[in-house]
Copies of this chain bind each other. A is one copy, B any other.
C-alpha cells in the first residue's frame, strides 16, 4: 500500500531523491494552517520537468516550510501541444477560463486584444495562479505557460505555419467542430475565442484569410466566450488530443482531500 499524499503542489525547484524544497509563505501557511499538516506528513510535488515526487515535511517556521523529496510517483510526460488564445473578458469569467483551460490540458494561455475586446488590461499573474491551482488539482504534470498579452494581429504575425488555429466562429456557414478537427492532420493546435461582443467583421475576414486558420462551428446556440472555451477544448481533446484511446497516463489518479479554500 503506497503512501497517500495529503495534497499536491507545483514547485519551482529541481526534484530528485533527497532534494530539499522550500515553500513560499503562502504555501507554507496553506499546509500548516488550512490543511493542518505537521512534520512528517507527505505531500506530492511536481515542477513540470522532473515528474511527480513524494516529499515529507521537515518543519515549519515563520513564513516557510521545508520538504525533503523522497520517492518518484510518476515520470515526466509531455502533455498535449494545445494553445488557447482568448480575448480578456470580465473578471469572474476570465478566472474561470484560466482554470478550465488548465484542467483541459492547455499548454499555453495567450491573452490577445481584438478590436472589440472590452478590458484593455489583463492580470496575467492572477490568471497564472488560477491555472496553477487547477493543474495541482487535476493531476497535470505541467502548468500552462502564460504568454505575454498582445494585440491579435501581432500574435498572428509570427504564427508557426504547422500549427492549426481553430477559430470559434459565432455563426455563419462554418464547418461543425467535430468534422473540422477530424479533417486536419494530428499535430500542434490552437483555439482562438473572441470577446463577448464578437469579432468585428473586417477583423474576421482578415483572420479567415490566413492559411493556418480553420473556422469551426459550435452549434446553433450562441455560447458565451467562457462556455465556448471549455466546449471547444473538450471536443479537440476527445477527437485529437489525449482523451483518445491510450492518450494519457492510465494509473488510477490521486485525489486530493476536499480543499476548504477552493470554490465559493
Please tell me if A47 contacts chain B, counting CB pairs below 8 Å. no
Please tell me if A196 contacts chain B, counting CB pairs below 8 Å. yes
Q: Return chain B residues, CB-CB under 8 Å to A263.
A: 90, 92-93
Given known A-B contacts A91-B264, A177-B238, A221 and B255 have beta carbons under 8 A apart: no
Output the least CB separation between A196 and chain B (Å).
Answer: 7
CB interface residues, A 81-101, toward B, < 8 Å: 90-93, 96, 100
Chain A contact residues: helix, strand, loop or mixed: loop
Partner among B138, B227, B235, B247 whose Cβ is within 8 Å of the Cβ of A222: B138
CA distance A137 to B196 in the complex (A): 12
CB interface residues, A 222-264, toward B, < 8 Å: 222-224, 227, 230-235, 237-239, 241-245, 247-250, 252-253, 255, 258, 263-264
CA distance A248 to B176 in the complex (A): 11
Partner among B217, B221, B243 whose Cβ is within 8 Å of the Cβ of A178: B243
Report yes or no: A138 in contact with B253, Cβ–Cβ below 8 A: no
Q: Return chain B residues, CB-CB under 8 Å to A243.
A: 176-178, 217-220
Partner among B218, B227, B241, B258 whose Cβ is within 8 Å of the Cβ of A219: B241
Give the interface residue-count category, chain A: 35 or more
CB interface residues, A 161-213, toward B, < 8 Å: 170-173, 176-179, 196-198
CB interface residues, A 61-107, toward B, < 8 Å: 90-93, 96, 100, 103-105
Q: Return chain B residues, CB-CB under 8 Å to A227.
A: 100, 103-104, 230
Report yes or no: A239 in contact with B173, Cβ–Cβ below 8 A: no
Which residue on B lies nearest to A230, using beta carbons? B230
Q: Return chain B residues, CB-CB under 8 Å to A242.
A: 219-220
Partner among B103, B170, B222 whose Cβ is within 8 Å of the Cβ of A137: B222
Supply 13 further A-B pairs (C-beta < 8 A) apart from A92-B263, A105-B221. A93-B263, A103-B223, A104-B227, A105-B219, A138-B221, A140-B221, A170-B255, A218-B234, A219-B237, A219-B238, A222-B253, A230-B231, A235-B235
Q: Return chain B residues, CB-CB under 8 Å to A176.
A: 238, 243-245, 247
Q: Return chain B residues, CB-CB under 8 Å to A58.
A: none
For this complex, 10 residue pairs linking A to B, each with C-beta atoms less than 8 Å apart, are: A90-B264, A100-B227, A103-B227, A104-B227, A140-B221, A178-B239, A219-B247, A219-B248, A220-B250, A231-B234
Output the least CB separation between A45 and chain B (Å).
Answer: 17
Please tell me if A145 contacts chain B, counting CB pairs below 8 Å. no
